[in-house]
Amino acid sequence: FGCGGGGGDAKGKIVGIEPGAGIMSATEAAIEQYGLDFQLQDSSSAAMAASLKRAIDNEEWIVVTGWTPHWKFAQWDLKYLDDPKGVYGGEEEIATIARTGLKDDMPEVYEILDKFYWAPADMEAVMLDIQGGMTPDEAAEKWIENNQDKVNAWLPEQEAAEKGKVTLGYVEWDSEIASTHLVKNVLEKAGYQVEPVAVDAGVMWTGIANGDFDAIVSAWLPLTHGDYYAKVKDNVDNLGPNLEGAKIGLVVPTYVTIDSIEELND
């Protein structure tokens, strides 16, 4: 299993996810900077996971665009390929971004969003329950029930007299399905009506800058969404990280014997 995945004269491929994801542009940069004889295949997060499952069931060679937190690391034996050039950056954080004006319009919502903070293991627990068959709302409810102290600390002592509707933009990446539904259910507990709106990454970023969404909890920084963020940073309100210790890169099953991106062409 050591070699290239290219096999003969067929070009090797990297199984990607949705075009527009930061990990897709990072992977194009990796192909360029490492001079890889590989093509990045557009796909979706769900199709990527299905390809990974199929390959593992057949012990076939595969390389995918992967990220942490993600349930796939609990499901299978996987490893990141080393990235000596640092194309995929280092540790990432996931930030909460509010639309300009939310702080004045809905101070209670703003405060809850500002306090929302959890660990990779928390997000993974929700992701695993969803992967195991729960709806995102059921998985979020379960986490809230098991973590009432944390959730209560996010809720303000003085409740707002007026509630209202809150719109959360997100992309259907497994991690963001989990976090967005968690926050949706927390805000619902606080009395709000919450609508999660699934869009492409580009629309998520223009939407938060235009005020189409009240907030997003899906901003991967500094690298993954760095280009998107740079374009809108003066028109949004960055509330800081809601999770630290995230990561992106190229991921292979551990039976694939190479350890570094540099070895992909071997």
User: Site residues (CB under 6 A) for ligand PBE?
Assistant: 17, 21-23, 67, 173, 175-176, 201, 220, 224-225, 248
Minimum separation from the CB atom of position 214 to ligand PBE (A): 20
Judge contact between 30 and 250, C-beta under 8 A. yes
Nearer to ligand PBE, 4 or 22 (CB): 22
15 Rama sector, left if φ>0, alpha if ψ -120 to 50, beta otherwise: beta
How many angstroms from the chain centroid is the CA of residue 238? 17
> Minimum distance between the CB of residue 224 and ligand PBE, rounded to whole angstroms?
5
Minimum CB separation of residue 24 from ligand PBE in Å reads 7
62 vs 190, which CB is nearer to ligand PBE?
Answer: 62
For residue 231, the minimal CB distance to ligand PBE (Å) is 15
| Pick 190 or 250: Cβ nearer ligand PBE | 250
Encoded amino acid at 238, one letter: N
List C-alpha distances in Å: 137 to 23, 37, 80.
27, 42, 30
Whether omega before 222 lies within 30 degrees of 0, making that bond cis, reads yes
Q: Which residue from 246, 248, 220, 139 is spatially nearest to 183, judged by alpha carbons?
A: 139
- Nearest distance in Å: CB 228, ligand PBE: 9
Nearer to ligand PBE by Cβ, of 192 and 205: the residue is: 205
Closest CB 132 distance from ligand PBE, rounded Å: 20
| 192 residue type, one letter | Y
Q: Which is nearer to ligand PBE, 17 or 102 (CB)?
A: 17
Closer to ligand PBE at the Cβ: 130 or 190? 130
First to last CA, the chain: 11
Measure the CA–CA gap between 226 and 87, rounded to whole angstroms: 13
Q: How far is the CB of 11 from ligand PBE (least distance, A)?
A: 23
CB 117 within 8 A of CB 242: yes
Q: Which amino acid does the sequence have at 79?
A: K
Task: Check whether the bond before 84 is cis (ω within 30° of 0).
Answer: no
The Cα 73–Cα 56 span in angstroms is: 13
CB of 71 or CB of 220, closer to ligand PBE = 220
